Amino acid sequence: MTAEDFKGGQVLLIDKPLEWTSFQVVNKLRWHIRKRFDIKKIKVGHAGTLDPLATGLLIICTGKQTKNIETYQGQVKEYTGTITIGATTPSYDLETEIDHTFPVDHITEEQIHLTTKQFEGEIDQKPPIFSAIKKDGKRLYELARQGKTTEIKARKITISTFEITQIDGNNLDFRVVCSKGTYIRSLAHDFGIALNSGAHLTKLRRTKIGEYSVEKAQSIEGFINSLGME
């Protein structure tokens, strides 16, 4: 590809690695595109944040394609991962330490599968307090890390599929197909409550955004190599 190709607009499918922020991926790709083609300035953006502890499909738009980012953000998304029952964390995932533990002896496999049905369809969901949503000009996670509590309004989301694909002790593997704005961490937390216990997200991978699949995505290193760079 040429400099003009990237300026004209490209849609890049990247498999985000663990512990990278979506912003770091964008910066890395922008830097390499600019260096490879000696471009002073080029727009590069992502179509939907993935948490640092999540992996999987990140759609990166360059040049004129950045105008279409909202279109990609609005697509239906698919995730796989693991929910661990019997304990909660303030962030609803592994970013923070376990703060409470709960009994799980009363939970049966049948109950686990039946409870997923409560979350299918259009539901009200409260985002986690550790999220990038802004309130009074500050990100919620900034307030949460300062120990400040804030009231978060529930949002309407749609979950078309929520299935448990494997049960291994307290670890429940799942697949979710959902609308824009869905927080899988919140789903894990709320699922624990519905089981009269507690739960948190211990693994997350985004596998699809609309018609785009992570199976077609490149690693960051793969993309850099495709530019003819090491």
Catalytic residues: 51
Per-residue three-class SS string for the chain: CCHHHHHHCCEEEEEECCCCCHHHHHHHHHHHHHHHHCCCCCCEEECCCCCCCEEEEEEEEEHHHHHHHHHHHCCCEEEEEEEEECEECCCCCCCCCCCEECCCCCCCHHHHHHHHHHHCEEEEECCCCCCCCEECCEEHHHHHHCCCCCCCCCEEEEEEEEEEEEEECCEEEEEEEECCCCCHHHHHHHHHHHCCCCEEEEEEEEEEECCEEHHHCECHHHHHHHCCCC
Contact 162, 116 (CB under 8 A): yes
Angle between helices 109-116 and 184-194 (to 10 degrees): 130
Tokens of 18: 């663990």
Cα–Cα distance for residue pair 79/185, rounded to 1 Å: 11
